[in-house]
């Protein structure tokens, strides 16, 4: 809370400056809600502020700056697995932007939406369906209630051809620590007609400064919408032989770089898939022990999944999709079993399902269709909380359905090393991490996403119960060891939780020193999210 006298003074000023009494909350019960985390340790804020407009954000910043009272801005606070709504430091004032949830514009000719930070995936999805039906939104796996802006600023990725959000955003409005408004790209040029269409503007590009950092509060963002393709085909490759993985990765890399597969391609190991669709085998894996291999094999067979499971989509004109399906088929021949699903086939499966309900075969089909449909939708930009279902796996009291991991006390730390899209590197990463997870008693849930034609973002995950201190300790230790191993091996993370950030810094790194100099230039009083990505101390990173 820093100096509590200044904190009290700042609170008084915020109280009188903000229009509504409920825009400020210091109720201990509320603060405790914001202190919940998927991480082993969390921090408790000193107050929550709820701006309703850009002007509110400016007011909040000006007062914070006057009293040198630090702020931690969040969009909707759903930074699952990476620190959630929690600041790196205790007692800070959270600026919760979730009430700034206006969709300011949807353009159905040039395909873009202009949104505030509180706009959720579900909200934009519905608005795009209604107002620009010829376009798709790109959705991430963060769930329907997650903020789009928050995720873009963390450089999360989606699953349509616009899944790289750095390349499909076009400028933002930012409130700086002193309350001034900075607009990036062409947005700051008066009455211009192109800011939403051409992202780079003229002069230096500043957008990059505001992702994974703490240099401003983003109050508006333009995101591009993907023109609905004429045709869409989902594919699933079941891989039964672990030895095929490197060759498969190399084959997929070639298809990604050639544009045959225009969207991110996702590979999940058996545990990653099982965690979403199969009850945890508590009988054979007591707390602190991983599931034994023999049982994993049984579970795979029961669920009809592979050791590795690849999914993705092919989009384009009907002729393109037809042609590219053939190319994929030939490229992965002998490495796994390829299944294509399109709208007609999915509809047929659902119909079949209704007919077979109740019989044993029907149960398995129910699970398969239930498992398929959300991921199928995600590739078309339809938000889903399916990827969150795996987070409660292993909890003694896991809920039937999870839309908020915090309510379920689900602990999970996403370690996300970037790896060359090459089979040899993937093998090396697995050889590196498997023993670490084993030694700490964790199942290793693992996914690889070919984010572009050259690199893979791995998401490596351990699951634990945040109410059990021993599990928290073990998870934290496992994360640290795995993160260190990844850094040492040359696989730094694409995104990081506060716990991991310290490992990113080295003492003589001009990169981090420069970010600190920029921080000092734009936020000399360290008002915004001190310690978030940009290290705190002067030249001592």
Give, as ranges, the residues between 137 and 176 that touch a second copy (CB under 8 A).
155, 161, 166-167, 176
**CA dist., res. 223 & res. 210, Å (int):** 15
Question: 281 or 420, CB closer to a second copy?
Answer: 420
Residue choice 459, 495, 527, 528 for contact with a second copy (CB under 8 A): 495
What is the chain's percent helix, strand, coil content, to nearest 5? 40, 20, 40
Residue choice 35, 487, 525, 536 for contact with a second copy (CB under 8 A): 487
Near a second copy by CB under 8 A, which window of 7-15, 98-106, 201-209, 473-481?
201-209
Q: What is the b/e burial string over 465-492, where b = at least 16 CB atoms within 10 angstroms of the residue's CB? A: bbebeebbebbbebbbbbbebbbebebb
Contact code string over 211-250 relative to a second copy, x by CB under 8 A: xxx-x--------x--x-x---------------------
Residue 335 C-beta: closest distance to a second copy, Å: 19
Return the residues of window 344-363 that contact a second copy according to CB under 8 A: none
**Angle 505-506-512 (CA atoms, 0-180°, nearest 5)?**
60
Near a second copy by CB under 8 A, which window of 26-34, 110-118, 295-303, 347-355?
110-118
Nearest of 174, 33, 13 to residue 94 by alpha carbon: 33
Contact code string over 401-430 relative to a second copy, x by CB under 8 A: -----------------xxxxx--x-----
* 485 lines the binding site for a second copy (CB under 8 A): no
Q: What is the b/e burial string over 95-125, where b = at least 16 CB atoms within 10 angstroms of the residue's CB? A: bbbbbbbebeebbeeebbbbbbbbbbbbbbb
Which region, left, alpha or beta, applies to residue 111 given φ > 0 means left and ψ of -120 to 50 means alpha?
A: left
Residue choice 16, 21, 29, 109 for contact with a second copy (CB under 8 A): 109
* 82 lines the binding site for a second copy (CB under 8 A): no
User: Which secondary-structure segment (H or E) carries 366?
Assistant: helix 360-378
Alpha-carbon distances, residue 494 vs 6, 25, 151, 157, 397 (angstroms): 37, 34, 13, 11, 32
Residue choice 329, 351, 467, 517 for contact with a second copy (CB under 8 A): 517
**CA dist., res. 365 & res. 43, Å (int):** 44
Residue 272 C-beta: closest distance to a second copy, Å: 21
Residue choice 81, 262, 336, 394 for contact with a second copy (CB under 8 A): 262
Residue 93 C-beta: closest distance to a second copy, Å: 23
Residue 427 C-beta: closest distance to a second copy, Å: 13
Sorted by sequence, the CB contacts under 8 Å of residue 195 that are 6+ apart come out as: 170, 171, 183, 185, 186, 187, 189, 201, 222
Question: 205 or 347, CB closer to a second copy?
Answer: 205
Question: 198 or 361, CB closer to a second copy?
Answer: 198
Find the farthest-apart pair of alpha carbons in the chain and give their distance in angstroms, rounded.
Answer: 69
* 263 lines the binding site for a second copy (CB under 8 A): no
Return the residues of window 306-325 that contact a second copy according to CB under 8 A: 316-317, 319-320, 322-324
* 537 lines the binding site for a second copy (CB under 8 A): no
């Amino acid at each position: 809370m820093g100096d509590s006298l200044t904190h009290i003074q700042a609170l008084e000023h915020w109280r009188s400056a903000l229009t509504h009494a409920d825009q400020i909350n210091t109720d201990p019960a509320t603060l405790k809600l914001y202190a919940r985390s998927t991480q082993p340790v969390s921090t408790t804020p000193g107050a929550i502020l709820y701006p309703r407009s850009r002007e509110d954000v400016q007011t909040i910043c000006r007062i914070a700056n006057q009293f040198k009272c630090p702020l931690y801005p969040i969009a909707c606070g759903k930074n699952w697995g990476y620190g959630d709504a929690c600041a790196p430091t205790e007692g800070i004032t959270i600026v919760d932007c979730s009430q700034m949830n206006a969709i300011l514009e949807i353009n159905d000719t040039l395909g873009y939406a202009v949104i505030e930070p509180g706009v959720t995936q579900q909200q934009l999805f519905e608005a795009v369906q209604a107002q620009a039906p010829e376009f798709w939104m790109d959705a991430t796996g963060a769930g329907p209630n997650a903020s789009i802006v928050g995720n873009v600023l963390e450089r999360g990725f989606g699953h349509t051809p616009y899944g790289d959000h750095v390349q499909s955003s076009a400028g933002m409005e930012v409130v700086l620590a002193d309350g001034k408004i900075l607009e990036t790209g062409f947005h700051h040029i008066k009455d211009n007609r192109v800011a939403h269409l051409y992202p780079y503007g003229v002069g230096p590009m500043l957008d990059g400064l505001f992702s994974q950092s703490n240099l401003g509060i983003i109050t508006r963002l333009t995101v591009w919408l993907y023109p609905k393709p004429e045709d869409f085909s989902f594919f699933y490759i079941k891989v039964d032989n672990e030895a095929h993985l490197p060759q498969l990765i190399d084959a997929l890399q070639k298809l990604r770089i050639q544009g045959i597969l225009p969207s991110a391609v996702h590979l999940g190991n058996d545990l990653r898939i099982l965690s979403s669709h199969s009850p945890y085998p508590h009988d054979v894996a007591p707390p602190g022990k991983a599931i034994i291999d023999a049982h994993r094999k049984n579970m795979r067979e029961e669920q009809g999944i592979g050791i590795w499971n690849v999914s993705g989509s092919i989009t384009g004109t009907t002729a393109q999709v037809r042609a590219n399906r053939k190319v994929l088929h030939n490229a992965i021949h002998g490495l796994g079993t390829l299944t294509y699903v399109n709208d007609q086939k999915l509809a047929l499966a659902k119909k079949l399902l209704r007919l077979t309900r109740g019989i044993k075969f029907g149960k398995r089909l129910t699970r398969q269709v239930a498992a398929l449909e959300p991921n199928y939708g995600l590739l078309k930009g339809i938000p889903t909380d399916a990827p969150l279902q795996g987070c409660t796996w292993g909890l003694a009291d896991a809920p039937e359905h999870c839309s908020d991991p915090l309510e379920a006390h689900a602990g999970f730390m996403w370690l996300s090393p970037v790896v060359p899209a090459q089979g040899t590197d993937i093998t090396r990463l697995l050889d590196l991490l498997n023993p670490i997870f084993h030694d700490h008693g964790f199942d290793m849930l693992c996914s690889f996403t070919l984010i572009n034609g050259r690199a893979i973002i791995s998401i490596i995950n351990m699951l634990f119960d945040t109410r059990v201190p021993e599990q928290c300790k073990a998870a934290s230790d496992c994360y640290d060891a795995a993160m260190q191993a990844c850094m040492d091996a040359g696989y730094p993370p694409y995104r990081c939780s506060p716990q991991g950030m310290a490992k990113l810094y080295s003492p003589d790194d001009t990169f981090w020193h420069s970010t600190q100099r920029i921080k000092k230039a734009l936020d000399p009083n360290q008002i915004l999210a001190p310690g978030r990505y940009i290290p705190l101390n002067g030249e001592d990173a």
